[in-house]
Amino acid sequence: ALDDLKDVVATQARALSDARAFVEAATPGMVGKLRAESLGTAALASRTIVELRSGKFDAAAADSAEVLDALSAVAAEYAVLAERTQRFRGYEELFEVPLTNFGDTDQAGKELAVHRQKWELLADFERCCRGWMAAPCAELSPETMQAKVDEISKANYKMLKGRKDDEVVQRLQKALDAFKERMPMCAEVANAALQPRHWQAIYGILGRTYDEDDPPTPEKLLEYGIMGHFEEVQAHGAVATKEYSMLKAMDKMEAEWEGLQFKVTPYKDSGTFVIGGTDEVQTILDDQIVKIQAMNTSPFVKPFKERASSWESMLQTLQDMLDNWLQCQSTWLYLEPIFSSADIVKQMPEEGAKFGRVDDMWRAMMQSTFDAPAVIPIAREKERVDKLIECNMLLEAIQKGLAAYLEKKRLFFPRFFFLSNDEMLEILSETKDPTRVQPHLKKCFEGVHTLDIDDELVITAMNSVEKERVPFKHAVDTNKARGAVEKWLLEVEAGMFDAIHDVTARGIADYAAKPRSEWVLEWPGMVVLVVSAIFWTRGVTDALAANTAAAYERKCTSDLMKVVDLVRGQLTGLQRATLGALVVMDVHARDVVSALVEKQITSDGDFEWQAQLRSYWEEDPEGGRDQTVMMRMMSACIQYGYEYLGNSSRLVITPLTDRCYRTLMGAIHLTLGGAPEGPAGTGKTETTKDLAKALARQCVVFNCSDSLDYLAMAKFFKGLASSGAWACFDEFNRINLEVLSVVAQQVLDIQRAIHTKLRSFTFEGTEMTLKWSAWCSITMNPGYAGRSELPDNLKALFRTVAMMVPDYAMIAEIVLFSFGYLAARECSKKIVQCYKLCSEQLSSQDHYDYGMRAVMAVLRAAGNLKRRFPNDDEFVLMLRSIIDVNLCKFLSHDVPLFNGIISDLFPGVDLPKADYGAMEAALVDACTKRNVQPTEYFMLKTIQLYEMIVVRHGLMIVGMPFSGKTTSYRVLADALALMEARGQEGQVRAEHVVINPKSVTMGQLYGQFDPVSHEWTDGVLAVTFRAVASNPEPHRKWLVLDGPVDAIWIENLNTVLDDNKKLCLNSGEI
């Protein structure tokens, strides 16, 4: 094998040697040949340059196609030349011989490229121009044309910069410039908006006839001389463009409605539907109506005027339909529950039939809407609008009929004027079962909580909320009224007056027959007070005549002490209420006699005696009854009203109260109104109410607000005049000035009618009966923000009483006395002193209040404690009540100061710790359930909250965010529920409803009238308050308004938070 390999290597070496020899022999010949060929190629390149520079490719007049053909031939030659040049350069490098100069080849390439570029650009432009000029105008695209022209211009501009003298380049530039002048014409005639009608007009201008089968081209138009009429053509183009854009807008409008439907939702279980949120439809509608109206006033709408007009009329129809539809729906929703009561339909057959028609139409319409809810097809139904208009006319007639029906019922039983329409309808619909009217009685009769109705539906007695029962003298048979609720209610009213008169007469007869201390426990509270007053008046008159006033003073004191002893004993709640009020009146009676003795008055005609409110049992001046109670004060003489007011408490009569009584009695005597004014908590409203109690009159307290209008006030005044009741308008100057000036006329009408002793008169267009006992009083807080100054014509109708500072000490003393406190005077001094020191020494905070209401809270707490621990030290009870009511509201840095004041006022009085063991255990369990830590401070605050709830019916939890306010009342509610379940301390659970008052408007919170139909809509708070107030369950019900407090929304709760405990709505509902 090795030998073979050696042979191969030797053969290879021989072959290489032979090849080398061949190359060396052939090289000189090859080099010579290459030299000759290279020189030939260089010569060819020179000839090509000569041809390129010959001038035939720079002739501006030459035909571009021919020149391009010639250039193509040169280019073909040049391609061969370039290939050879490249090949020979390679050979020369290979043979390592001197390189030939091929510079002309490169130069030729450059010059050829330049010539080709300019002639290709020129040819391209000329081809485009020919195409554009010959193309139908409709197919032209001005944008594409402009882009092409710009592109060629840009390239030509670059060439111009390099060769200014090149005629070809200049020729292209001239062609471009010439075309640019025609460009606006091309753009104008290429307008897509140009329709055949526009072309006819353009051809008319050019003096030609337009043929649709022979479309116009720029070439033809130039031939026809369009450039001479360019401005006119432009005008037509502008018109066409405007028309075209309007057409596009019309298409867009129609497309906007595609797929849009009315939202239809089932309504309760009525079997029909109501239309839901129409906001989207309304937004598009508002927008399009404006657009289409603008379009229809435009001169460019002419070609499709019919389409635009029909669209506008359809939109207007839809707008009318929506307006009528929503109006019809809101009225139908209001009336549907009313007319679904067969009793109401029976009483209003005509309105019932009309509502039946509307109901059928409504149901059919809503069913068809539910089946096909698309907006536009519905909008094209003109007859639907007509139906809705008819429905609305019927509904308006029904509402008028309903209002007339309610007005008729109100005139028959005037106390209905103090109820809202909804409450009245609720009462009137209960024609079969009088017991169903029971929950509403309190609204008509201040003191009547329930009536005793037997199985035969005969009413035999009335009961107050305190469970006091007064039998009727003559039973009222409700069957005779045949379902007319107002008839038997009128009989109940007459029965109430007769029953109180009868029981008063029997009480007077019985007074002389047995000891007073026994007698006071056997008769209704009202009778006890009025009969005591009659006998006191008689006693004082006799004592003055016989000059034995001092002896009578001693008798008064002994009578009083006997009653106080009774209070300290075991009594029922009803007897305690009676005696509490009696003590207050007896103390005043004793004080009056003491004052007469002190001033040595001997005549019953003396002013000191005449200025007191005196009660007499004498002949009835009007002849209605044999004997009646007459109330006298100075020159005023007023008959007792016999309105049953239950067994309510009475105000302490201080010199301020007395002065207020005298002014108000004088005002009644002069047929004027009364106007107590002064700061909060001075007893303006309460004194008016107390005078009404003294005279046994129904007194309706109404909290005015700035949204009251003259119609609501007129309704109120009608009620006053025809029922003979009193009204006390709280915060009267919150009413708007323009309403007050109408109110002045309304008050004047009533006062004049009473003054002239009319039996009936016309008021606000209604003929109505008049009771002379009607009277109205207004109370005001002067100088508050948002208060009107009363107009002069209104001021003149009221006698004002300034009520500034109540006598706290005297009030506290007498109230404590009525609770059975023997050390009442010392205790009252301590309360007053405590508040005086607190106001001077403690920091000033918005929520600190040392006024009459704070004092009353302490007194109420003291009364509760006295009943629970009748034998404990009175100072301890007093201290406990002051601490319970006040400590919780002080900030931490004021607590030590408060404790200091207390220890100074009650030296040596040790307070035993209150026993809240069961509650604390329940609170800890409630905290655990809510995953909250029962810290000492949290527990303290929650127990203080409970203590406050016990003595006040309205309170405010104040604190920074995240300080545990909400958690506190929730935990307390849970704890009370636990205690109820465990049966501890007789506690009951608490349910709480929470509203954020600042999350809605005032109208949505309390309710508002519709500005057009004057129809009332309840607010969130009104609905919730009504539900809570009318819930008969015994558990606690807390209405929590969780949000920032401001004067705007809380003002309307004035009467809720004071002793009236009533929410007054602008609908007249209380």
Structure tokens at 656: 């301020």
**pLDDT in the model for residue 1060:** 65
Rounded to whole angstroms, the Cα distance separating 494 from 477 reads 13
Q: What is the average pLDDT across 499-510?
A: 92
Q: What is the average pLDDT across 858-887?
A: 84
SS3 state at 247? helix
Q: What is the average pLDDT across 252-269?
A: 82
Residue with structure tokens 């882009």? 147
The reported pTM is 0.70
CA 903, 909, 910, 914 dihedral sign is negative
Structure tokens at 88: 């020979």
Closest to 338 in 3D by CA, of 359, 364, 367 = 359
Rounded to whole angstroms, the Cα distance separating 416 from 485 reads 11
Q: What is the average pLDDT across 857-881?
A: 84
Closest to 881 in 3D by CA, of 815, 783, 807 = 815
Residue with structure tokens 């200025």? 611
Rounded to whole angstroms, the Cα distance separating 1022 from 1065 reads 8
Question: CA 429 → CA 343, 351, 484, 1029, 1039, distances in Å?
Answer: 5, 15, 9, 21, 30
Q: What is the average pLDDT across 690-694?
A: 91
Where b means 16+ CB within 10 Å and e means fewer, 991-1017 reads ebeebebeeeebeebbbbbeeeeeebe
Residue 517 has pLDDT above 80, yes or no: yes
- Helices 279-296 and 305-339 meet at what angle, rounded to 10? 150
Q: 30-34, 384-388, 608-612, 1011-1015 — which is least confidently predicted?
A: 1011-1015
**Residue 317 burial (CB count, 10 A):** 17
Of the chain, the end-to-end C-alpha distance in Å amounts to 133
Rounded to whole angstroms, the Cα distance separating 456 from 58 reads 131
Question: Tens digits of per-residue pLDDT, 926-947?
Answer: 888 889 888 888 888 888 888 7
Question: CA 529 → CA 339, 546, 1016, 1060, distances in Å?
Answer: 47, 25, 42, 21
At residue 627, what is the residue type?
Answer: Q
SS3 state at 775? strand
Question: Tens digits of per-residue pLDDT, 141-181?
Answer: 888 888 888 888 888 888 888 777 787 778 878 888 877 88
Structure tokens at 354: 């009309």
Structure tokens at 51: 């041809």
Structure tokens at 147: 């882009």
Rounded to whole angstroms, the Cα distance separating 590 from 553 reads 6
Question: Tens digits of per-residue pLDDT, 279-306?
Answer: 888 888 888 788 878 877 877 767 777 8
Q: What stretches of 1008-1046 show up as alpha helix (H) in DSSP?
A: 1020-1029
DSSP string, 929-961: HHT----HHHHHHHHHHHHHHHH-SS------T
Rounded to whole angstroms, the Cα distance separating 415 from 725 reads 9
SS3 state at 910? coil
Sheet with 775-778, edge to edge strand ranges: 699-703, 726-730, 775-778, 673-677, 798-802
At residue 515, what is the residue type?
Answer: P
Give burial (CB, 10 Å; 0-12/13-18/19+) of 659: middle
Helix, strand, coil tally for the chain in percent (to 5): 65, 10, 30
Structure tokens at 340: 């679904």
Q: Which run of H or of E encompasses 265?
A: strand 264-266
Where b means 16+ CB within 10 Å and e means fewer, 192-231 reads ebbeeebbebbbebbeeebeeeeebbbebbeebebeebee
In contact, 1025 and 953? CB cutoff 8 Å: no
In contact, 989 and 1047? CB cutoff 8 Å: no
More confident residue, 663 or 187: 663
Q: What is the average pLDDT across 236-240?
A: 74
Residue 1014 has pLDDT above 70, yes or no: no
Rounded to whole angstroms, the Cα distance separating 136 from 710 reads 77
Question: Tens digits of per-residue pLDDT, 69-115?
Answer: 877 877 888 788 788 877 877 777 777 777 777 777 777 788 777 87
At residue 158, what is the residue type?
Answer: K
Q: What are phi and psi of 917, to 5 degrees?
A: -55, -50
- Helices 965-982 and 917-930 meet at what angle, rounded to 10? 120
**Residue 895 burial (CB count, 10 A):** 12
Rounded to whole angstroms, the Cα distance separating 457 from 454 reads 5
Rounded to whole angstroms, the Cα distance separating 759 from 751 reads 13
Closest to 566 in 3D by CA, of 215, 177, 870 = 870
Percentage of residues in the chain having pLDDT higher than 70? 97
SS3 state at 544? helix
Structure tokens at 150: 């710009």
Question: Tens digits of per-residue pLDDT, 667-688?
Answer: 999 999 999 988 877 888 889 9
Closest to 49 in 3D by CA, of 114, 88, 105 = 105
In contact, 380 and 317? CB cutoff 8 Å: yes
Q: How confident is the model at residue 753 (pLDDT cuts 50, 70, 90)?
A: very high
Residue 253 has pLDDT above 90, yes or no: no
**pLDDT in the model for residue 507:** 92
In contact, 1063 and 1025? CB cutoff 8 Å: yes
Q: What are phi and psi of 683, to 5 degrees?
A: 90, 25
Residue 530 has pLDDT above 90, yes or no: yes
Rounded to whole angstroms, the Cα distance separating 935 from 283 reads 55
Percentage of residues in the chain having pLDDT higher than 90? 11
More confident residue, 746 or 45: 746
Residue 840 has pLDDT above 80, yes or no: yes
